[in-house]
Amino acid sequence: MSRPVPKQADVSLVKMVLTLTLAGLLSGLALAAVYEATLPRIKENQRRALRRAVFEVVPGAADMKRMVVSNDRLTEAPEESEEAGIYAATNESGEIIGYAIPGRGIGFQDFIDLLFGYDPKSGNLTGMQILESRETPGLGDKIFKDADFVAEFRELAAKPEVVLVPNGTGAAPNEVDAITGATISSRAVVKIINEASREWLPLIEGG
């Protein structure tokens, strides 16, 4: 606006198209190169984070394998399968000592992704970890920052289902004390666990 527009007759359409094409091409090349270079590391990071979470919710686990459903039975997942599945945690001698089950559901602000451990022998939950959440800092984020709340999910009866009760009133083995000031987030965690349990526990016990 302030400067007079110079005469541009000499700049042909071809040059403009060429510039943008070239820019796009070079940019694509650079992106592809860096993507390829960082991909193994990114995958490794994700794998390690998942492994850490699985070992956290199933105490005593030494190794894990991914399980998916085929013919209504749980079987070990083939490599690179993208199907929804759960993780069987094994001890040093290869016996399955528990399962880590991922769950996802609506929290207070956004989806909450979590992982919980289940021991088929005792029918108890063995631990819970929030993988991904955007709950309010200082209130809703207590679902993973409040050590007392997280500890409630160790040795918690999974059947008939987990019940959320007001803070300080939990007595039965399947009751969880809600976090004061984060009722919605606590309720969301319990709901996600119950939904995932309904889906997976019969499969675990059936085979």
Partner 1 sequence: MAKDSSQAYAEFAKGLWKENPVFVQVLGMCPMLAVTNSAINALAMGGATMFVLLGSSLLISLLRNVIPKQVRISTYIIVIATFVTLADFTLKAFAPALHKELGAFISLIVVNCLILGRQEAFASRNTVGMALADAMGMSAGFLFALFCLGSAREIVGNGSFFGFPLFGPNYEPWVIMVLPPGGFIMLGLILLLFGAIKQARAKRPSETARKAA
Supply the Cα-derived Rg of the chain in whole angstroms.
25
Choice from 47, 49, 84, 202 touching partner 1 (CB under 8 A): 49
For residue 200, the minimal CB distance to partner 1 (Å) is 26
Residue number with CB closer to partner 1 (7 or 121): 7
- Residue 51's φ and ψ, nearest 5 degrees, are -60, -45
- The Cα–Cα gap between 200 and 178 comes to 24
Q: Residue count at the site for partner 1 (CB under 8 A)?
A: 24
Closest CA to 75 of 91, 55, 96, 54: 96
Choice from 91, 136, 167, 174 touching partner 1 (CB under 8 A): 136
Place of tokens 């889906």: 199
Residue number with CB closer to partner 1 (50 or 69): 50
Identify the three-state secondary structure at position 57: helix
Contact residues for partner 1, defined by CB under 8 A:
6, 8, 11, 15-16, 19-20, 23-24, 27, 30-31, 34-35, 38, 41-42, 45-46, 49, 136-139
